[in-house]
Structure 1
Amino acid sequence: MNYSTPYSGSIENPVFSEHRLSIGLTLPLLRRGEIVADFHEQLKLAELADTLGFRALWIRDVPLNSADYPDPVGHLDPWVFLGALASRTQRIAFASGAIVLPLRHPLHVAKGALSVSALSGGRFILGLGSGDRPHEYAAFGKDSGERRELFRRHWEIVAAAVGSSARVIPDHAPPDAAEFTLLPRGTREIPMLAVGSGGQSVDWIARNAIGWMTYHRDPDVQRSRHSMWLAAVNRLHTPAFRAFGVAMQLELSAHAETPATALPLGYSTGRHALVRSLQDMRAAGTHHVSLNLSSERPVRDVLEEIAAHVLPEFHEGRGSE
């Protein structure tokens, strides 16, 4: 089992880069209707995605399942899954999409992020969200009405622990308390991404995160959201690039000329219309799209088709860029 050597550049660059669009995948990669994932096969598919040139693998945090939830898939614990992925790939980035920050102690989140970054050679982007399931808050002894404040407070603690001037902010610090550190330390700070709003304003996200990841929406609605985001970025006191990313459902037809039709959170389409849709998204200011595949076709066939005919339109080689 080979652990990765340190990544040579900034991992945000191949995933989030100004005026470019990159393409990633949301795990697990399942055929339509499948609800039980073979995670040994998922690791093999992750290796394939790495070889084919996809830029990122996105891992969800789904702590509990319920018959009332729309997603019946049994997701692995994200930190366990990310560790396995780090040991099986070489270049592809990992992003959590997203760790449910109010339901986890922020120092545990920071420790997990530092661990994945170390195992992967710095290929990890820490995506954080607040979750949207009040009953889960109750199960974990949290008040969903406090999620906005919990998100902000936990974000501050994580950011302090994984930043360039790392420090531990304890919940309580009696006069005789020891001074703590989190090890191992990387050579650079871990990028933190807002996935969803976490109950925060776009101005707060622009000030505190490397970017904003959201769901696919109707193009007119998405343009409005992007305009709101760009206005927040332009209000920053110091000009800076802030990314805008989209998670999109994709049902890829075996027929290249099949026109695009709308699905909830995405499209059913052939590859030609997919390229046009992605080009439109890039022109509208989207920097990354994570594809959540749903098709009757074998997953490997879909990955290989996208790699052969879609990625070359958007990815310029495999370097650190």
Structure 2
Amino acid sequence: MPGASVAPGMFVEGSDTIGVEPTPDALRVMTASDNIPASSSIADAVFAQGKLSIGITLPITGEDQGVVDFGEQIALAQLADRLGFRALWVRDVPLNSIDYPDPVGHLDPWVLLGALASNTERIALISGAIVLTLRHPLHVAKGAISVDALSRGRFILGVGSGDRPQEYAAFGRDAEERRDLYKRHWQTLAAAVSLPSRVIPDALPEGAPEFYLLPRPHASIPMLAVGSGGQSVDWIARHSLGWMTYHREPQAQRGRYSMWRAAVDRAAFGAFRAFGVAMRLDLVEDADAPATDISLGYRTGRRGLATVLRDMRESGTHHVTLNIASERRPARDIIEEIAAHVLPEFHR
């Protein structure tokens, strides 16, 4: 989602300090889609206790690449689907400017998600993340229900708040109100994509009809917090299936997970709530090249990547989406190498 200085293709988390909020309430219960085996929902396929799954963020671009061949992106998505990656992540970047370091011309997320739904079969589709504060929640709900129907229950709705004040101004929003706006929009959105689906109007003048959304959702669409949205971890633990954050060095990430786990115990004791990470990856041809730090991720060979992922799994991470750097090697080669040599250990 939109943010400050980051590498192309990376998630950005809100910059607010994330505190705790001690008052618990009930978390919405997800149900499995009719198109998915009864024992498992699409969220279960991506996030599972004690396991780590691997996804890919689209589009995959080279350094300073502003023009994307979206036909090639669909082909890469189909390849990832065939080879067993668990999720495809799509970002929401409403506007570009010279102050924003990502030069990529992203498609509208609903357009790209619709194309992915029509051209893949098994892989989960995740928005990472719809900027909930800059879109009306009923429009977001309509898009989410549509993608879920097109993909036959493979959609997870990741939402964030954005963090560029100038972009808020362009949409006539006050960036200082984003915390409250995020909460209000989440409530309206959750009501619309849960079962039974309910439309909460902004205003209801006398004589107004009762509204509903068509197509009607066949199951509750899982909602995932990407970044903090200015909320406490306790709020996120109560309202979201999990928390998606960006890469940090291992010690800091372990501390982040410990904070998350404590919040889950306070808000929903004994329940499973997922923890995921977006990580940049520059995979080199030398399989034995050790992992070295780059901005928001690692440069490494495939064995070093497997070691990094094992450590992340042991420290509590349930899903990693890879922001693949393709300056050195074709993205197809990187995807095929990971599928052949890394996925078998994690996707049994």
Normalising to structure 2: TM-score of the pair? 0.88
Q: What are the residue-to-residue correspondences of 1:144-155 with 2, within 5 Å?
A: 144-155=175-186
Deviations 1:110-152 (A, max 9, x none): 0000000000000000000000111100000000000000000
Which residue in 2 is equivalent to 1:62? 93
Q: 1:238 Cα deviation (Å)? A: 5.0
Q: Secondary structure at the match of 1:185?
A: coil
Aligned pair 1:88/2:119, yes or no? yes
Residue 315 (1) aligns with residue 347 (2): yes
In structure 2, list runs of 5 or more residues that go unmatched: 1-33
Match of 1:205 in 2: 236
Match of 1:262 among 293, 296, 308: 293
State the alpha-carbon separation in 1 of the partners of residues 161 and 304 from structure 2. Answer: 34
Could you say which residue in structure 2 is the equivalent of 1:156?
A: 187
- Contact kept? 1:31, 1:297, Cα under 8 Å: no
Task: Tell me, in whole angstroms, the C-alpha distance in 1 between the residues paired with 2:35 and 2:108.
Answer: 24
- Residue 166 of structure 1, CA deviation: 1.0
Alignment of 1:1-40 (within 5 A): 6-8=35-37, 9-40=40-71
The Cα shift of 1:239 comes to 2.8
Kindly report structure 1 stretches of 4+ aligned residues shifted beyond 6 Å: none
> Offset of 1:33 from its aligned partner?
4.2
Q: Kindly indicate whether residue 214 of structure 2 is the aligned counterpart of residue 183 of structure 1.
A: yes
2:77 partner letter: A
CA distance in 2, matches of 1:217, 1:229: 15
Deviation at 1:240, TM superposition (A): 1.3
1:305 aligns with 2:343: no
238 and 219 in structure 1: CA distance in 2 versus 1, 3 angstrom threshold = closer
Q: Verify the 8 A CA contact 1:31 1:299 in the aligned structure 2.
A: no
User: Could you report, residue by residue, the CA deviation over 1:86-125 in whole angstroms, capped at 9, with x for unpaired residues?
Assistant: 0000000010000000000000000000000000000000
Quote the offset at 1:13 in angstroms.
1.1
Match for residue 284 of structure 2?
A: 253
Q: Secondary structure at the match of 2:293?
A: strand
> Helix, strand or coil: the match of 2:279?
strand
Among 128, 138, 161, the residue aligned to 1:130: 161
- Answer yes or no: is the 8 Å Cα contact 2:238–2:268 preserved in 1: no
Distance 1:305 1:31 in 2: 18
Alpha-carbon deviation of 1:36?
1.7
AA aligned to 2:68 is: A
Provide the C-alpha distance between the structure 1 equivalents of 2:99 and 2:165, rounded to a whole number of angstroms: 12
- Give the match's secondary structure for 1:235: helix
- Name the Cα RMSD after superposition: 1.1
Q: Find the aligned partners of 2:209 and 2:113 in 1 and give their Cα distance.
A: 31
Q: CA deviation at 1:70?
A: 1.1
Matches within 5 A, 1:224-235: 224-235=255-266
Tell me the number of residue pairs that the alignment of Structure 1 and Structure 2 aligns.
Answer: 312
Aligned to 1:319: none
- Structure 1 gaps of 5+ residues are 317-321
Amino acid paired to 1:35: G
TM-fit CA distance, 1:236: 2.2
Distance 1:279 1:181 in 2: 45
Match of 2:73 in 1: 42
Equivalent-residue separation in structure 2 for 1:82 and 1:89 (angstroms) = 10
Query: 2:35 is matched by which residue type in structure 1?
Result: P
- Give 1:163 deviation, angstroms: 0.5
1:273 offset after TM fit, Å? Answer: 0.7
